[in-house]
Chain A
Amino acid sequence: MTMDFFSNLGIFFQTILQLIDNPMTILLLLGASFLGIIFGALPGLTATLGVALLTTLTYSMDLETALIALISMYVGAVYGGSYPSILINIPGTAAAAATALDGYPMAQRGEGGRALGLTTTASFIGTVVGMLALIAFAPLIADAALQFTSYEFFLLAFFGIIISGTLTSSDLVYKGWIAGLIGLALSCIGRDQLQFYPRFTFDLSQLDGGIEVVPVLIGAFAVPQIIRSMRDRLTLGKPQPIKRILPEFKTIRKNFKHIIRSSMIGVGIGAVPGVGEDIAGWVSYGTTKNSHPKPENFGKGEPAGIIASETANNSCIGGALIPLVTLGIPGSPPAVMLLGALMLHGLNPGPMVVINRPTFLYELCAIMVLASLAMWLNGMFLAKHVIKVLRVPATVFLPIVTVLSVIGSYALGLNIFNLYLMIPVGIAAYLLGEMDYPISPLVIGVILGPMADENLRRALMVGEGDLTGFFERPVSLLLIAAIVLTICSQIPAWKRLSSRLIARFLKRSEGEQK
């Protein structure tokens, strides 16, 4: 066990040394991270979109180089969202929305540089803690997942869709479930994997191979963003001036307990399928405010507010990678895109990854450490230049994003049909989004659909049509219970019953105390 630990630590440091030994890698790290910060900083562009568009540039790279670019972009974009939050009170990404509450008041009283310094260091710490969580929990989960059979994989895919639908829906919960099921329905298009029977292909040979994931992802994430921002005449205010940006280690030390708590919240929320950095930021902000000795200072430029939101949204990255690496289920929307990119490079994340590529996890962690370092360096030394980007109007860069999305979707398989698919998917995703249907469960459904289909039929094949197999295995039972509880918790009668039971229990325990 100890030997394993040291050998893994050796692989981790060896990867770091190998990476920093190559000047091109350092350039790629810094460049992708800088690009990520710009993507995060520009309202209308998101981390998911950044990873999606960069994926198209990594086609010709090997897996390790592509990962360096994509992870640096992901980390940079999540952090970059804080720039407009602090300087113009408009969050660059949803993940940085909570940062604006205290960041902007700080910038207004001339402490913009200090706020950016705090954000940079908090995001760096958050990413590193997320990485530590990944390295600590991923091997345990992967070991357990090696025991999974078709029963568990089908239920896991189904649970992923249900839980992401439940947690990402801002209106009725079953809208999230409908979105997930639409994704599953889309994944049924094409010839099935076991019998090669054409399903819903409408006699179009282009649909025989099924729907390509990357065009669907680009369509679902990029097109609605383009339509929404161009439609709404998004105009940005003048950024608040900033002075020197310092790392603010003293304030960070003073808020150490908030950092630890926020990191844990970020990792926990990130690990839940489909729930991303935005929710992590808000939950962490709320928790820190409630536990702070002076909660009335929040919203008026309290540094702890910025630290809470930024640490959580960056630690969420590591959390989101835990189910991605171990189970093949992405933890957040950018992780969905990352999964698509990994599959494109011939790596299928999931329990088998520890056998097929035993060093993958340590390489990933080494890349995360370097990406967070690149983000910190960019943040400390290039922040003033990034701010200039905020002057670029959305009506100029979004048409460019359209061209990039088109060429990105096409470059995969050099197939124009992918573009024909991207536009209707994008318009449908926009309309669904306008009616408060979350998009993450939809794309998770598209990605997990083949896994659900194949494993459901395999499981039934093993039992020759007998369903009892689902109830004979502990993990399978646990997943069934989780699915049933998640669904039941949305039924009004169940809600009434559970609240009545809780009230009765509380009454009884109070009576016993008296």
Chain B
Amino acid sequence: METLKLSKEELSKKRKADFFTGLLILFISIAMLFESFTFPMTDSYGGVQNVWYVSPALLPILVSSLLILLSLILIKRSITDGGFKQAIEDFPKLTQTIRSEGSRRFFIICCYLIAYVYGVIPYVDFFIGSMVFLLAFILPFYLDRSELFSVSFLPFMVTSTLIGILGYQGMVSSLLADIALLAIMLFITLCSYLKIKGDSELFSKWRISVMTSVLTPLILVPCFKFGLLVPLPTEGLVIKAMEHLAYLVR
């Protein structure tokens, strides 16, 4: 459905990206094809003599060959539409593109997601981890103040990266990680409050952010843990306390 009529400039910009993706897909597909040829084709595997038409390599070879063909077509199209030329012309402006507002925001959002999933979730109590993640993520975006990134994004990133690295090497206890993130929660709450102090509109948004970050895990955790009986990725300080409370109530 090539329904959209693009201007020459827009087209070459789009084809510039296509040129790079075409190359990337070509490279990965060739690697996939080579790897597929290492799968048993006619030799024996697990005591069974193989024949080419039942080989586990059959679909990967078919798929990688088609991907190679299509990526070559994509590269050729991108060269014809001026994408390659645009790529060479724009190469000096690469840092400018990376520093653009959209790229910066994309990079920050990805960092939040990566830090939460790889750094926090495996080592910190799910309640605490989600609460701090929500506060650090909502505050700068909802209040739309760039100065808040320094008091929410940076502390969250540094702590979660440290916890992630130390946790991976087995050098941090769950309790210590929980306490560290609780301290970060306190730090973000206080610092952000000081930054927006005096502005009633921002204060109301700040209050909503703090409430959302506390209420969300407060609702979600009991629902999953006690309602759906799904154990959470890491159960530490708060979830253990909830468990004791639930035991007492029962």
A→B interface (CB under 8 Å): 57, 59-60, 166-167, 169-175, 177-178, 181-182, 184-185, 188, 192, 194-197, 199-200, 223, 226-227, 230-231, 233, 393, 395-396, 399-400, 402-404, 406-407, 410-411, 414, 416, 419-420, 422-423, 426-427, 432, 434-437, 449, 452-453, 456-457, 460-461, 464-465
- Having A411-B230, A416-B122, A423-B117, one finds 17 other A-B pairs with CB under 8 Å, namely A171-B14, A181-B66, A194-B56, A195-B45, A230-B109, A399-B133, A399-B212, A402-B113, A406-B121, A407-B126, A416-B121, A419-B121, A435-B18, A437-B21, A457-B55, A461-B54, A465-B52
Stretch at the interface among B67-75, B154-162, B168-176: B67-75
**Interface flag for B237 (CB, 8 Å):** no
**Subset of 13 A-B contacts with CB under 8 Å:** A175-B18, A177-B66, A185-B67, A195-B48, A226-B109, A393-B142, A396-B212, A403-B217, A411-B228, A432-B21, A435-B21, A457-B55, A464-B53
Q: What residues of chain B lie closer than 8 Å to A434, measured between beta carbons?
A: 17
Could you tell me which residues of chain B, from 27 to 83, have a CB within 8 Å of some CB in chain A? 32, 35-36, 39-40, 45-46, 48, 50-56, 58-60, 62-64, 66-67, 70-71, 73-74, 77
Q: Which of B1-9, B90-98, B184-192, B240-248 contacts A (4 or more CB under 8 A)?
A: B1-9
A184 to B66, CA, bound (A): 11
* Contact assessment for B59 and A453 in the assembled complex, using a CB-CB cutoff below 8 Å: yes
Q: Given the known A-B contacts A396-B208, A435-B17, A461-B53, are A419 and B117 also in contact in the complex, defined by CB atoms under 8 Å?
A: yes
Please name all residues of chain B whose beta carbon is closer than 8 Å to the beta carbon of A393 when the two chains form the complex.
Answer: 142
Report whether B233 and A410 are in contact in the complex, using a CB–CB cutoff of 8 Å: yes
Q: How far is the CA of A305 from the CA of B4 in the complex (A)?
A: 23
The one of A170, A197, A223, A460 in contact with B53, judged by C-beta atoms closer than 8 angstroms, is A460
Q: Do B134 and A171 have beta carbons less than 8 Å apart?
A: no
CA distance A195 to B43 in the complex (A): 13
Q: Is B130 an interface residue (CB 8 A)?
A: yes
Q: How many residues of B contact A (CB 8 A)?
A: 71
| Residue B150 at the chain A interface, CB threshold 8 Å | no
Shortest beta-carbon distance from B163 to chain A in Å:
14
Give A59's nearest chain B residue, CB to CB: B228
Count of inter-chain pairs, beta carbons less than 8 A: 178
Is A436 a contact partner of B14 (Cβ separation < 8 A)?
Answer: yes
Q: Is the beta-carbon distance between A173 and B39 smaller than 8 angstroms? A: no
Task: Report A27 CB to chain B, min CB distance, Å.
Answer: 15
Expressed in whole angstroms, the minimum distance between the Cβ of B76 and any Cβ of chain A is: 11
Which residue of chain A lies nearest to B120 when distances are taken between CB atoms in the complex? A406
Q: Is the CB of A184 within 8 A of B63?
A: yes
A60 pairs with B70, CB closer than 8 A: no
Assess the B216–A403 pair: CB atoms within 8 A. Answer: yes
Please indicate the chain B residues that have their CB under 8 angstroms from the CB of A407 in the complex.
126, 220, 224, 230, 232
Smallest Cβ-Cβ distance to A449: which chain B residue:
B59
Tell whether B209 is near chain A: CB-to-CB under 8 Å: yes
For residue A172, which residues in chain B have a CB less than 8 angstroms away from its CB? 2, 18, 74, 77
Return B36 CB to nearest CB of chain A, in Å: 8
Cβ distance A352 to chain B, nearest Cβ, rounded Å: 22
Indicate whether A199 sits within 8 Å of B39 (C-beta atoms), given known contacts A184-B59, A406-B121: yes
| Chain B residues, Cβ within 8 Å of A192 | 56
Select which of B25, B58, B134 is within 8 A of A403 by beta carbon.
B134
Say yes or no: B216 contacts A223, CB within 8 Å.
Answer: no
Nearest residue (CB) in A for B137 is A399
The answer to whether A178 and B106 have CB atoms under 8 Å apart is no
| In the complex, per-residue mask of B114-155: 1 if CB is within 8 Å of any chain A CB, else 0 | 101110011000100010011001100110100000000000
B156 to chain A, nearest CB (A): 12
B141:A230 contact, CB within 8 angstroms: yes
Min Cβ gap A53→B in Å is 11
Contact of B198 with A by CB under 8 A: no
CB <8 Å contact, A460 and B54: yes
Q: In the complex, which residues of chain B have a beta carbon less than 8 angstroms from the beta carbon of A423?
A: 113-114, 117-118
8 shortest A-B CB distances, which residue pairs?
Answer: A460-B53, A192-B56, A465-B53, A395-B142, A197-B56, A395-B141, A399-B137, A453-B59
